[in-house]
Chain A
């Protein structure tokens, strides 16, 4: 039996009807067509599905859609303001903090959530901030360098 679910995603109100067993990531990718958020495992280990829910990073594969009732969700598609990329996105571009790019949306969301909580994290805090996201390509250090520059204030929000 489908139930009504309402929440906002990237600032936009959404109303869908889902079965209780539907996962949040399925609503995001399959129902809303926001395929930026990825899936890379079956046991909540890889972090590719990370989104921000009510200000915190969560793995959308491990949230029942109905548990997102009334929530504010941000996905990678919501990071840029129009055509203006967020500071973290710009830092990633400059540092080449991605290769195949499949883990990148989840990585960006974990990084964004980290900075929402703490605008000037240390190197260790940055590493811990992205430890829940596996990257098979970069070896993480270019991501850490990008985020350290963001932490040092080298990237500001563009007007």
Chain B
């Protein structure tokens, strides 16, 4: 049963930020509600105030800027999935969205809501981390930019202040010969990741060595995060099967997966080894086609 709360539907961002500042300590933002409402129905979260930003059309956009993308926080997963612009510039985002939950959830749920929910098994965060993405956090005090890889502190916890609102996701332009891939390992196709791996590889030329690599891991730690040690194995080197096996092992070792009803920590590590290997390989293949 949901506990009573006071409901506001601000008409613009300014109003929303003012309300958020006023009620900061005991309020929740609702947009698509696909994560929040489950928690509220189970009584896990009982805010006194709910601020509904679903109607803030000014935050619903996908636009290209200097070769990169800027996505408004209330943009739905489905909009991102279907966007021709996204498919052209960062197809990995569209592919990731296509496997996220169900169509109904994607029709309603927002990218911003998903990111702020902070589930380490969520799909968007590892992908955004591998793309070097940043988040614009806004409040009555102004805006600040935080990289996605620095955004999470613990399970379902972020660096956001109570009066801050995520307003935009910024994805920088990718250099030539860059490819990205994402896949989640699960046993039922629409399930959350048991292990999620996103990889972005930049080569110094066709069939060249790996100039840069970013690997985002999901469900392998209390937060989504970069596999820095695995990246170190790969960066600056020619990508070979052997190298990728070593990278996979490094990623597994630097992770902190848990054992739960879906998989044991050891198994997650084993899958991670294979998945990192495959995603980096896939990203490399795509970089070569760039």
Contact check, B4 vs A132: say whether CB atoms are below 8 A apart. no
Contact check, B41 vs A47: say whether CB atoms are below 8 A apart. no
Closest to A109 in B: B104
Contact check, A21 vs B189: say whether CB atoms are below 8 A apart. no
In the complex with contacts A23-B37, A67-B54, A132-B190, A57-B103 CB distance below 8 A: yes
Interface segment among B5-13, B19-27, B155-163: the answer is B5-13
List, in ascending order, chain A residues with CB within 8 A of B41's CB: 23, 42-43, 61
Choose among B2, B34, B103 the residue that contacts A21 (Cβ–Cβ < 8 A). B2
Choose among B40, B101, B103, B108 the residue that contacts A63 (Cβ–Cβ < 8 A). B108
Which residues of A, 60-96, contact B by the 8 Å Cβ criterion? Answer: 61-64, 66-67, 69
B30 interface residue per 8 A CB criterion:
yes
Which residues of B, 45-79, contact A by the 8 Å Cβ criterion? Answer: 50, 52, 54, 78
Contact check, A44 vs B105: say whether CB atoms are below 8 A apart. yes
A52 and B190 alpha carbons, distance in the complex (Å): 21
Contact check, A3 vs B7: say whether CB atoms are below 8 A apart. yes
In the complex with contacts A44-B37, A66-B52, A21-B104 CB distance below 8 A: no
In the complex with contacts A42-B41, A58-B108, A20-B103 CB distance below 8 A: no
A59 and B50 alpha carbons, distance in the complex (Å): 20
Contact check, B34 vs A20: say whether CB atoms are below 8 A apart. no
List, in ascending order, chain A residues with CB within 8 A of B42's CB: 42-43
B107 interface residue per 8 A CB criterion:
yes
What's the A-B contact tally at a CB cutoff of 8 Å? 84
List, in ascending order, chain B residues with CB within 8 A of A58's CB: 104, 107-108
Contact check, B103 vs A129: say whether CB atoms are below 8 A apart. yes
In the complex with contacts A23-B37, A63-B33, A64-B37, A47-B104 CB distance below 8 A: yes
List, in ascending order, chain B residues with CB within 8 A of A3's CB: 7
List, in ascending order, chain B residues with CB within 8 A of A131's CB: 102-103, 189-190
Chain B: interface secondary structure? mixed
Contact check, A66 vs B9: say whether CB atoms are below 8 A apart. yes
Contact check, B4 vs A59: say whether CB atoms are below 8 A apart. no
Tell me, rounded to whole Å, the shortest Cβ–Cβ distance linking B50 to chain A: 7
B18 interface residue per 8 A CB criterion:
no
Tell me, rounded to whole Å, the shortest Cβ–Cβ distance linking B208 to chain A: 35
List, in ascending order, chain B residues with CB within 8 A of A128's CB: 98, 103
A50 interface residue per 8 A CB criterion:
yes
Choose among A43, A57, A133 the residue that contacts B107 (Cβ–Cβ < 8 A). A57
List, in ascending order, chain A residues with CB within 8 A of B105's CB: 44, 59, 62, 132
Which residues of B, 73-104, contact A by the 8 Å Cβ criterion? Answer: 78, 98, 101-104
List, in ascending order, chain B residues with CB within 8 A of A21's CB: 2-5, 40
B145 interface residue per 8 A CB criterion:
no
List, in ascending order, chain B residues with CB within 8 A of A62's CB: 33-34, 37-38, 105, 108
A110 interface residue per 8 A CB criterion:
yes
Pull 13 A–B residue pairs with CB atoms less than 8 Å apart, ordered by A. Answer: A3-B7, A42-B38, A57-B107, A58-B104, A58-B108, A63-B37, A64-B37, A66-B7, A110-B103, A128-B103, A131-B102, A132-B102, A133-B102
The interface of chain A, by Cβ under 8 A from chain B, is 1, 3, 19-21, 23, 42-44, 47, 50, 56-59, 61-64, 66-67, 69, 110, 113-114, 128-129, 131-133
The interface of chain B, by Cβ under 8 A from chain A, is 2-7, 9, 30, 33-34, 37-38, 40-42, 50, 52, 54, 78, 98, 101-105, 107-108, 189-190
Given contacts A43-B41, A63-B108, 12 further A-B contacts (CB under 8 A): A19-B4, A21-B3, A42-B38, A59-B104, A64-B50, A67-B30, A67-B33, A113-B103, A128-B98, A131-B103, A132-B101, A132-B105
